[in-house]
Chains A and B, each alone.
Chain A
Amino acid sequence: MTTLLEVSGVSVSFDGFKAINNLSFRIAEGELRAVIGPNGAGKTTFMDIVTGKTRPNEGRVTYGEKSVSLLALSESRIAQMGIGRKFQRPTVFEDQSVADNLMMALKKDRNPLAVLLFRPKAADHARVEALAGEIGLADALHRKSGELSHGQKQWLEIGMLLAQEPRLLLVDEPAAGMTLAEREHTTDLLKQAAKTRAVVVVEHDMDFVRRLDCKVTVLHEGSVLAEGSLDHVTQNEQVIEVYLGR
């Protein structure tokens, strides 16, 4: 499998505190990967770097077949290139309907003039409805998304990510605050998504990670501690020491 994203030798520090320390990481096309690690291990900062929110002090981040460097690109450019991100806290536009949220996320020309002149066609409406069905919100299409439950908002956000048709999906703690049934649905969604694209899931919940059934990367103090199957890393001495063994 070809490499989709490669992070090599990246370091970033805030006021002397090294949040990421010489981190190297790569993910292949269509791969599902879970990233775990204790608080402050640099999981969110890692996502910030890939999506362009934080600029690293050193290192390289390249993406795609042409190995484009992401470091000089704006967040919106990176998103347009096919990297989608889901935040820890569900962030949907609560003032707008589910349909509007999804319509906004649909993969279309993003420049202001094109958006201004854009009028949805029947196919676009169909796609929105299909997505809503996929995330279980077909009935709620015209409700304001602010009225949805916490879990529904998480799904809506995943739905919006899918609508973007990204090649790489970064998901930050998707299962936080969900009921068991909702978690299962979420797992299904992510597994489904991973069939057509690469997905990186940052998660605390070991059961959830186990259910994903994929390669796991353990971060600690800003660099990779271990990598492999969940069983493999959970037997790693260091991992037990810093993360599992209390």
Chain B
Amino acid sequence: MSDLTLSAPTRRRPLVLRHPSVLVFLVVLALFTLGVTLLSEGIGLGVISTSFIKTLGKTLCFCLVALAMDLVWGYCGILSLGHMAFFGLGGYAIGMWLMYERTRRIIVDSLATAELPATPQEISDGIASQIFGVVGASDFPPIWAFAHSLPLQLAAVIVAPGLLALVFGWLAFRSRVTGVYLSILTQAMTLALALYLFQNDSGLRGNNGLSGLQNLPGLDLVPQSTVSLWFFWASALALGAGYLFCAWLVSGKFGSVIRAIRDDETRVRFLGYPVEGFKLVVFTLTAILAGIAGALYYPQAGIINPAEVAPIASIYLAVWVAIGGRGRLYGAVIGAAFVSLLSSWFTGGQAPDLKIGSLHIQWVDWWTVLLGLSFVAVTLFAPKGIGGLVDLAARIKSPNRHGADLGPGAGALREREADE
């Protein structure tokens, strides 16, 4: 926590210099992106398969949503069990355009050979019955009104989660619901959204969800190996930008205030800060961040359905952040990357089975158990998570003297001066 919480008050230096961890992170991310690109199937040496590029790209999106989660939970103290719902909303928003546009092209092509040239209505009907036939409908629901326009759906990536977070947050925060109550309420919101999406008449194809999102409309000739790299780069860029944004947000007075809210919101209120407003800003901003992450994630995953929005996903998000170490941005990123990659390794059947005597442990079955229990262990024994290791390393390097003199005598160097 040392790097972001202590601000050097006397002079203004660029953010990355004040917080070296930001610079370190950005450099590592850039090197990682470059390395993966050079090893990729698409334009590099071909060591890394396209499907693994997609996995890495998706992991970067998870890191971004974990950042958002860390901001809202680790910094502001709101244990939201709804951020994966915002993530899903972002995915749905971009998925609507991808699906609409791709279907439109198919329909236009198929109608091109008809005796009469197609009317706009015929094209629209064709698209609607193609998309909604699976739920027994043939008309466009009102929420698809903007699906034809990429800019509008891109706006929806931000507006949909932002608006939901704003309305829900306003209702929840103004009634001073806090702590576990608030967590339960966010979980209820997530469940309500998931149940709504599960309905066939939700207008979003019920439990079929949106599919075929990996195909970019009009770019059928570009191989997936290249498209996957584009998304990988976009995800890396978004993560880098998101990290910078979050670091900027938490480094200044705003960061001070939200951490103060986390620690004692009543006291902050008596300092004159409108606590509800701050919470609402953080909740909404992080929801938007989650929406953007989702909009980048689902084209790489290719399909989105309501199960992705279910409360369990948001709880896993909390697990990542907790294991990575909350209250520090790189902790969230490390946690998300570590746990989600490990999880796909274990559940992908790649992990070797474990044989203890007669006990035969197949990780596909037992990974979740291990995850659950290690999660309990982290909460109990290492509340700082993996990020705590960084503190440990830092402490070994330079013991914390709490600003005391480094040596005898009034003129001795103080710890802080020595650090600089």
* Direct A–B touching, Cβ under 8 Å: yes
Q: Are A95 and B9 in contact (CB under 8 A)?
A: no
Interface residues of A in 133-164 (CB under 8 A from B): 139-144, 147, 160, 164
Q: For A80, what are the chain B residues with a Cβ–Cβ distance below 8 Å?
A: 272
The number of A-B residue pairs with CB atoms under 8 Å apart is: 105
Q: Are B260 and A96 in contact (CB under 8 A)?
A: yes
Q: Known contacts being A93-B259, A95-B259, A95-B263, is A125 close to B9, with CB within 8 Å?
A: yes
- Is B397's CB within 8 Å of the partner chain A? no
Q: Are B403 and A143 in contact (CB under 8 A)?
A: yes
Q: Report the separation of the CA atoms of residues A116 and B281 in the bound assembly, to the nearest whole angstrom.
A: 10
Q: Are A75 and B260 in contact (CB under 8 A)?
A: no
Find A128's partner among B9, B269, B278 (CB 8 Å cutoff): B9
Q: Are A96 and B5 in contact (CB under 8 A)?
A: yes
Q: For A96, what are the chain B residues with a Cβ–Cβ distance below 8 Å?
A: 5, 256, 259-260
- Is B358's CB within 8 Å of the partner chain A? no
Q: Are B267 and A95 in contact (CB under 8 A)?
A: no
- Is B271's CB within 8 Å of the partner chain A? yes
Q: For A76, what are the chain B residues with a Cβ–Cβ distance below 8 Å?
A: 269-275
- Is B7's CB within 8 Å of the partner chain A? yes
Pick from A12-20, A29-37, A104-112 the stretch touching chain B.
A104-112
Q: Report the separation of the CA atoms of residues A87 and B272 in the bound assembly, to the nearest whole angstrom.
A: 15
Q: Known contacts being A96-B260, A100-B5, is A74 close to B274, with CB within 8 Å?
A: yes
Q: Are A104 and B253 in contact (CB under 8 A)?
A: yes
Q: Are B403 and A116 in contact (CB under 8 A)?
A: no
Q: Are A118 and B253 in contact (CB under 8 A)?
A: yes
Interface residues of B in 4-43 (CB under 8 A from A): 5-7, 9-10, 12
The chain B residues found within 8 Å of chain A, CB to CB, are: 1, 5-7, 9-10, 12, 249, 252-254, 256-257, 259-260, 263-264, 266-267, 269-275, 277-278, 280-281, 402-403, 416
A sample of 10 inter-chain contacts (CB < 8 A) reads: A75-B266, A76-B273, A94-B263, A95-B5, A95-B263, A103-B9, A103-B253, A104-B260, A110-B274, A144-B402
The chain A residues found within 8 Å of chain B, CB to CB, are: 51, 53, 74-77, 79-80, 84-85, 87, 91, 93-97, 99-100, 103-105, 110-113, 115-116, 118-120, 125, 128, 139-144, 147, 160, 164
